[in-house]
Amino acid sequence: MDLIERYLAYVRLLLPRRSPRDDILAELREALTVCQEEQATKLGRSATPEEAEQLLREFGHPVIVAARYGRQQYLIGPDLYPVYTFVLKLVLLIVAAAIVLSGIVTALATTGAAGSAARTAIALWSGAFSTFAAVTIIFAALQRYFPRLRLLSDWRARDLPALPKARRGTWFEHVTGIVVNAVFILWWLGVIRLSPLIPLNADQGLHLSPDSAWHGLYWPVLGLAFGAIAIHGLRLMRDENRRLGHALDLTLQLGFMAVAGWALHAGHWIAVTGTGLPPEVISQIDRAVNLGLATSLIVILCVAAVRAGYDVWRLAADGDRATD
């Protein structure tokens, strides 16, 4: 079988099922024969095997030539593509947030934090992959069966919701933030001392003291408080570098998440003792105080996770704008 016939055999194999294969191949054979004759005329002799091969290469790979006889179809066309990317990003964000939150709740409900983190990472990977596949299949189906569909073509500018202005926070908020954190640091360092005694009446009183759970968190908590002051200070400056601000805030929020997560595993943070009170009452107060602290730590963890997600999104959005 010469090269042209071998080439045509592959084209035949790859042609769309319903195409008139014999007719197409007859036409291509005729075209290639003419090309061969033209080549021989130019060379003044018969083409070498390499030259014959070059002629077929110029004609095009059988896969490409055969595919051109098929229906010209976009997987997702230019009209639908911007909507597709928008929906894909949105759904990916929602799925990722749901998986991370469920991972946090699982970590809190069980003791194996490392295992929970690994499961969350796997769930994030498979969730992202499944989301990508599902959204792509839906849009490919829309493209195929509703090619004239014009999503988002019927809209009015006045219906777009007003976006909140980028908030730097007020001067008062940042100064307050700096003062509150400074007071906290002074208390944490022991410069400001608060009495651990809470008098209830002349004969009764409660004594609150931090548990050993805080010993390992002394320096991290101090670092976070200084970090919070640095960010408030940065935001007070009018010429704040937004990317730097978000990067620092992201670091801070991750720090909050790590410290809150670590502290949560202790299960007990304040030891309550008392004078003049029955042991069961002191025990109940101890439980209530520590339950309140556990709730606060969970809230801190969730808020920090949301803020960290926002920082990541803003960093990515600013990065996209910078590269445009």
Partner 1 sequence: MPIDDDLYDKLRLELRRGSLVLAVLAALKREHYGYTLRKVLADAGLTIEEGALYPMLRRLEAQGLLTSQWREEDKRDKRFYRLSKDGAALLSELTDEWRAINGALDNLI
- Residue 21 Cβ vs partner 1, minimum distance, rounded to whole Å: 12
Nearer to partner 1, 28 or 217 (CB): 28
Nearer to partner 1, 33 or 130 (CB): 33
Q: Using CB under 8 A as the criterion, what x/- string covers residues 177-206 for binding partner 1?
A: ------------------------------
Tell which positions 71-90 bind partner 1, by CB under 8 A. Answer: 72
- Residue 240 Cβ vs partner 1, minimum distance, rounded to whole Å: 30
Nearer to partner 1, 26 or 137 (CB): 26
Contact 260, 297 (CB under 8 A): yes
Q: Tokens 């926070």: give the residue.
A: 169
Nearer to partner 1, 203 or 324 (CB): 324
Tell which positions 298-317 bind partner 1, by CB under 8 A. Answer: none
Backbone angles phi, psi at 199, to 5 degrees: -75, 130
Q: Which two tokens stand for residue 184?
A: 């906290």
The Cβ-side half-sphere exposure at 205, using a 13 Å CA radius, reads: 9
- Residue 47 Cβ vs partner 1, minimum distance, rounded to whole Å: 16
Q: For CA atoms 258, 261, 267, 270, give the dihedral sign.
A: positive
Kindly state the helix (H) or strand (E) to which residue 91 belongs, with its residue range.
helix 81-109
- Residue 60 Cβ vs partner 1, minimum distance, rounded to whole Å: 3
Residue type for 185, please? I
Residue type for 91, please? V
Nearer to partner 1, 60 or 233 (CB): 60
CA distance 209 to 190: 14
Residue type for 161, please? P
Count of residues in contact with partner 1, rule CB under 8 A: 18
Q: What is the DSSP letter of 212?
A: G
- Residue 34 Cβ vs partner 1, minimum distance, rounded to whole Å: 5
Q: What is the DSSP string of 41-70?
A: HHHTSPPPHHHHHHHHHHH--HHHHHHHTS
Query: What three-state secondary structure class fits 197?
Result: strand
- Residue 176 Cβ vs partner 1, minimum distance, rounded to whole Å: 48
Nearer to partner 1, 28 or 250 (CB): 28
Q: Tokens 């400001």: give the residue.
A: 192
- Residue 244 Cβ vs partner 1, minimum distance, rounded to whole Å: 27
CA distance 221 to 210: 14
Q: Using CB under 8 A as the criterion, what x/- string covers residues 48-67 for binding partner 1?
A: ----------xxx---xx--
For partner 1, which residue of 10, 69, 188, 262 counts as binding (CB under 8 A)? Answer: 69
Nearer to partner 1, 62 or 177 (CB): 62
- Residue 69 Cβ vs partner 1, minimum distance, rounded to whole Å: 5
Q: Using CB under 8 A as the criterion, what x/- string covers residues 18-47 for binding partner 1?
A: -----xx-xxx-xx-xxx------------
CA distance 222 to 184: 9
CB-CB neighbours of 310 under 10 Å:
14
300, β-bridge pairs: none
Nearer to partner 1, 18 or 165 (CB): 18
Using CB under 8 A as the criterion, which residues of the chain lie in contact with partner 1 when the complex forms? 23-24, 26-28, 30-31, 33-35, 58-60, 64-65, 68-69, 72
